[in-house]
């Protein structure tokens, strides 16, 4: 270094260099829509004291600096070098909506499920919370700290002095009306104090109606556990006392009393001053589960999609403020803002409803696993028919497996028998959905004052309308599926896009008048049951009848009270419901999902039959199950009839391993859709070729299937093509999808989605 260079380095920097090196406060922001990356903004001095992580902010975006609302996900001080950052223009929320732990969880979800971070945050924070639904702005009176410190020195008229002294004794602000009433004065002295600068008014949001008071602890006594229940509880207690994460899989028979194990585990959690989240798969289960937990613990909040925005916002607020001991809800309750989380319980963990089918396409079980691990709390998974993924993880030691192999009070499992519909079909005397054997069993159960549950996982009256002459099937013009006849409204309806039309009187293809209404739905079953058993009250539960607020709870309450003798419906009646007086369960057709083009078809059939069979035999009368099927020898059916989950798993898992399906490999499904069939197929082909090229040098087992037309080849006017990517390294698979699509722009009107760990294969 020459002398001149030496002097340059010893010289003090010029003033502009000092300014350039000065630190500035920078906020990183993500947006729910638009670009998915994170944007940095300068935080103006006026906003520094108001801004915190997890709040929504207003920020200029794009060349036009259009104001957008985003989420602040990071705040840090940086050297003010390089290009000047745009400043934030405002803070939207008075409080933090997303805690740091939830920010970590949502960042992981965005990475794992390949979607925008802002999009995930918009899912986590309910719309009612974001919009402050059910609140209004009110002015509160507060006494500044500097004034409170010298109240004894103030020389004020008596009424003003009473106001100041009253405010000084308060810990919470009050409105002007509340203050005037408490002190016994008009508003004039209060306004005078404000003009003097001795009190301040603050705007705060409050409920438009007084919230319902939270219930006190009920402390209903615990039930006595049997040896198996005690062993399961001891495993959960051990994880709680280690103050660390562990996943416990409770594999049980139906009616084994696992809910009592849950409640005693939660009681232990509450003893530590912490909160519990309990997830159930169906909204129909929420009222029953809420009632049981409320009777035991009192302070229970509920979160599910059938609530109004006002209800959801109020429950969310109570949870965030720590006023709630137990949160009960469906899939989205996994995001409950519990400040002191102690345990997560996911009941009926096998249920497909825990997977969200729109972006972000998360699975509540895997999100719960990630959250529990991050917050170092136990996760309890419970099911009589665990998903094969969870069962395999338990067999490999990733989960702690505990068993409840007996029903409470040593009640026997229900007797299960199969009715071969092939024989019934050949018998010309057989008519309708209910076989002779099932009819006789229903008649006997009802005469003995028992109740009956019938399962048919098909809505509507007739599942298809077909011409006997030319074979034409009346189909949806927007979707490649047959229309379902709904007799009550006398419409032919598409269950995917809600297209409806009047049923044709003659074939629209050939004009033949012999239109045939075929297939069986719950409406047709209800009509048959009502005709055959007219002396008994029948109730149908499906998505057509359970649309009104509170309809699930009302229907189940009527059935529990004995007002209804026969309950029939879709899979919403198959899980978790506990009715001791049910002595017969009939499965109308166990094959409805058995032959779907889905590698999980057998697993779902086994689960559905086993779960609905578990609704009977829970009381002193015992119970019986009759399963109507055209495939009585199928392994899934025979295992379900024997209540033998291990046998089913042992038969199904080797086939999964041979074909590289989960749980032995991860899967990503890509679906390309567009109004033009050829254009959509060409783009899918290009995407598939690029995926294969990205994975060509991979050092793990992988395969790419497709593109091929999706099982439902046209949906809502869009032609659909799918690609399946299988591999033993899910992170590498996601990387390959990102790399293959990084600079790939789809043609106009063509869209594509990525589904990591898909459940819906149609």
Nearest one of 353, 436, 355, 408 to 113, comparing CA atoms: 355
Residues in the chain: 762
Q: Which of 33-37, 316-320, 753-757 has the highest mean pLDDT?
A: 753-757
CA atoms within 13 A on the CB side of 540: 22
Nearest one of 209, 212, 193 to 201, comparing CA atoms: 193
Over residues 242-266, mean pLDDT: 92
pLDDT above 80 for 206: no
3-state secondary structure of 404: strand
| pLDDT value of residue 128 | 87
| pLDDT value of residue 372 | 97
pLDDT above 90 for 680: yes
Element housing 523 (H / E): helix 522-532
| pLDDT value of residue 87 | 93
Q: Are 348 and 612 in contact (CB under 8 A)?
A: no
Task: Flag the least confident range among 256-260, 282-286, 711-715, 722-726.
Answer: 282-286
What's the pLDDT band for 18 if we cut at 50, 70, 90? very low
Digit-coded pLDDT (tens) for 503-521:
888 898 888 888 888 888 9
What's the pLDDT band for 576 if we cut at 50, 70, 90? low
Distance separating alpha carbons of residues 264 and 293, to the nearest angstrom: 11
Q: Are 599 and 570 in contact (CB under 8 A)?
A: no
Q: In what order do the strands lie in the sheet with 484-486?
A: 484-486, 491-493, 500-501
Bigger pLDDT: 1 or 242?
A: 242
Task: Flag the least confident range among 97-111, 355-369, 374-388, 483-497.
Answer: 483-497
| pLDDT value of residue 211 | 54
The residues, ordered by sequence, that sit 6+ positions from 519 with a Cβ below 8 Å of its Cβ are 458, 462, 463, 464
| pLDDT value of residue 212 | 52
What's the pLDDT band for 574 if we cut at 50, 70, 90? confident
What's the pLDDT band for 599 if we cut at 50, 70, 90? very high
Over residues 495-509, mean pLDDT: 89
Digit-coded pLDDT (tens) for 175-194:
888 888 888 898 898 899 88
Digit-coded pLDDT (tens) for 50-84:
899 999 999 999 888 899 999 999 999 988 776 78
| pLDDT value of residue 208 | 66
pLDDT above 80 for 339: yes
Q: Are 381 and 249 in contact (CB under 8 A)?
A: yes
Strand partners, 420: 629
Name the token pair of 717.
């006017």
Task: List Cα–Cα distances, 617 to 288, 530, 578, 683, in angstroms.
Answer: 19, 24, 10, 55
Digit-coded pLDDT (tens) for 391-420:
999 999 999 999 999 888 778 888 889 999
Over residues 736-742, mean pLDDT: 94
Q: Are 67 and 112 in contact (CB under 8 A)?
A: no
Bigger pLDDT: 271 or 615?
A: 271
Q: In what order do the strands lie in the sheet with 341-347?
A: 300-303, 326-329, 275-279, 341-347, 379-383, 247-252, 400-404
Digit-coded pLDDT (tens) for 261-299:
999 999 999 999 999 999 998 776 677 788 888 888 888
| pLDDT value of residue 222 | 79
pLDDT above 50 for 604: yes
Name the token pair of 646.
């291990």
Question: Considering the chain, what percentage of its residues have pLDDT values greater than 90?
Answer: 57
Over residues 645-665, mean pLDDT: 94
Strand partners, 403: 251
What's the pLDDT band for 151 if we cut at 50, 70, 90? confident
| pLDDT value of residue 16 | 39
| pLDDT value of residue 293 | 86
Q: Max alpha carbon distance in the chain (Å)?
A: 113
| pLDDT value of residue 430 | 61
Distance separating alpha carbons of residues 475 and 466, to the nearest angstrom: 9
Digit-coded pLDDT (tens) for 535-550:
999 999 988 888 787 7
Nearest one of 574, 634, 615 to 351, comparing CA atoms: 574
- How distant is the alpha carbon of residue 581 from its chain centre? 31
Q: Are 329 and 303 in contact (CB under 8 A)?
A: yes
Distance separating alpha carbons of residues 321 and 315, to the nearest angstrom: 10
Task: List Cα–Cα distances, 499 to 378, 461, 483, in angstroms.
Answer: 46, 16, 9
pTM of the model: 0.86
* DSSP-assigned letter for residue 463: S
Name the token pair of 259.
């809910």
What's the pLDDT band for 19 if we cut at 50, 70, 90? very low
What's the pLDDT band for 483 if we cut at 50, 70, 90? very high
Name the token pair of 119.
């999009």
Distance separating alpha carbons of residues 705 and 350, to the nearest angstrom: 26
Which residue has tokens 């080797």? 654
| pLDDT value of residue 573 | 81
Q: Are 101 and 375 in contact (CB under 8 A)?
A: yes
Digit-coded pLDDT (tens) for 372-388:
999 999 999 999 999 99
| pLDDT value of residue 668 | 97
Mean pLDDT computed over every residue of the chain: 88
pLDDT above 60 for 218: no
How many Å from the N-terminal Cα to the C-terminal Cα in the chain? 71
Nearest one of 296, 266, 301, 299 to 286, comparing CA atoms: 301
pLDDT above 70 for 356: yes
- How distant is the alpha carbon of residue 125 from its chain centre? 13
- How distant is the alpha carbon of residue 739 from its chain centre? 30
Name the token pair of 606.
């086994």
């Amino acid at each position: 270094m020459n002398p001149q260079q030496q002097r340059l380095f010893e010289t003090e920097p010029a003033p502009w260099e000092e300014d350039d090196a000065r630190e500035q406060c920078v906020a990183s922001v993500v947006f729910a829509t638009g670009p998915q990356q994170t944007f940095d903004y300068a935080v103006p001095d006026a906003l520094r004291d108001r801004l915190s992580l997890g709040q929504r902010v207003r920020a200029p975006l794009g060349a036009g600096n259009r104001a957008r609302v985003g989420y602040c996900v990071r705040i840090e001080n940086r050297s003010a070098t390089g290009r000047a950052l745009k400043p934030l223009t405002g803070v939207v929320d008075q409080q933090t909506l997303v805690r740091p732990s939830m920010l970590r969880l949502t960042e992981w979800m965005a990475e794992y499920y390949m979607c925008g971070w802002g999009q995930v945050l918009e899912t986590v924070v309910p719309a009612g919370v974001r919009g402050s639904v059910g609140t209004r702005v009110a002015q509160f009176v507060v006494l500044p700290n500097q004034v409170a410190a010298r109240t004894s020195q103030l020389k004020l008229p008596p009424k003003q002095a009473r106001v100041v002294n009253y405010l000084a004794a308060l810990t919470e602000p009050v409105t002007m009306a509340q203050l005037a009433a408490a002190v016994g004065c008009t508003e004039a002295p209060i306004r005078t104090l404000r003009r003097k600068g001795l009190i301040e008014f603050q705007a705060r949001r409050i409920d438009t109606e007084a919230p319902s008071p939270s219930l006190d602890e009920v402390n209903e006594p615990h039930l006595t556990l049997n040896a198996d229940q005690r062993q399961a509880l001891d495993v959960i207690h051990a994880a709680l006392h280690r103050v660390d994460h562990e996943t416990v899989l409770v594999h049980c028979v139906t009616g084994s009393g696992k809910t009592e194990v849950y409640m005693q585990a939660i009681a232990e959690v509450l003893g530590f001053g912490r909160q519990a989240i309990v997830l159930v798969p169906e909204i129909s289960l929420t009222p029953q589960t809420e009632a049981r937990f409320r009777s035991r613990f009192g302070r229970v909040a509920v979160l599910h999609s059938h609530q109004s925005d006002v209800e959801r916002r109020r429950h969310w607020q109570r949870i965030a403020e720590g006023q709630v001991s137990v949160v009960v809800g469906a899939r989205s309750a996994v995001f409950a803002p519990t400040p002191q989380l102690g345990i997560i319980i996911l009941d009926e963990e096998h249920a497909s409803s825990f997977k969200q089918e729109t972006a972000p396409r998360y699975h509540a079980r895997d999100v719960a696993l990630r959250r529990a691990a991050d917050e170092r709390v136990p996760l309890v998974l419970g099911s009589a028919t665990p998903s094969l993924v969870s069962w395999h993880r338990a067999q490999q030691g990733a989960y702690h497996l505990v068993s409840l192999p007996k029903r409470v009070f040593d009640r026997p499992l229900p007797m299960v028998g199969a009715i071969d519909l092939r024989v019934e079909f050949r018998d010309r005397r057989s008519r309708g959905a209910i076989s002779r054997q099932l009819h006789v069993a229903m008649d006997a159960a009802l005469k003995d004052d028992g109740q009956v549950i019938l399962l048919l996982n098909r809505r509507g009256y007739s599942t298809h309308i077909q011409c006997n002459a030319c074979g034409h099937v009346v189909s949806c013009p927007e979707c490649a599926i047959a229309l379902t006849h709904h007799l009550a409204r006398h419409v032919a309806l598409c269950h995917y896009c809600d297209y409806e039309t009047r049923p044709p009187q003659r074939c629209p293809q050939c004009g033949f008048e012999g239109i045939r209404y075929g297939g069986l739905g719950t409406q047709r079953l209800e009509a048959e049951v009502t005709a055959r058993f007219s002396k008994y009250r029948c109730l149908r539960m499906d998505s057509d009848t359970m649309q009104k607020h509170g309809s699930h709870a009302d229907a189940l309450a009527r059935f529990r009270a004995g007002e209804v003798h026969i309950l029939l419906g879709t899979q919403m009646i198959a899980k978790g419901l506990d009715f001791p007086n049910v002595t017969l369960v009939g499965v109308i057709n166990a094959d409805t999902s058995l032959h779907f083009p889905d590698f999980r078809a057998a697993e779902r059939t086994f689960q559905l039959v086993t779960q609905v069979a578990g609704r009977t035999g829970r009381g002193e009368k015992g119970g019986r199950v009759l399963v109507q099927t055209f495939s009585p020898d199928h392994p899934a059916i025979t295992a379900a009839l024997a209540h033998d989950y291990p046998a089913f798993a042992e038969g199904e898992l080797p086939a999964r391993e041979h074909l590289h399906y989960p749980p032995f490999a991860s899967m990503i499904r890509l679906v390309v859709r567009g109004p033009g069939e050829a254009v959509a197929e060409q783009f899918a082909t290009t995407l598939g070729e690029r995926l294969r090229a990205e994975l060509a040098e991979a050092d793990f087992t992988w395969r790419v299937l497709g593109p091929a037309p999706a099982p439902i080849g046209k949906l809502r006017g869009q032609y659909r093509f799918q690609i399946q990517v299988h591999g033993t390294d899910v992170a590498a698979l996601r990387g390959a999808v990102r790399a293959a699509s990084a600079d790939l722009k789809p043609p106009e009107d063509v869209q594509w989605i990525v589904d990591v760990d898909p459940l819906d294969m149609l």
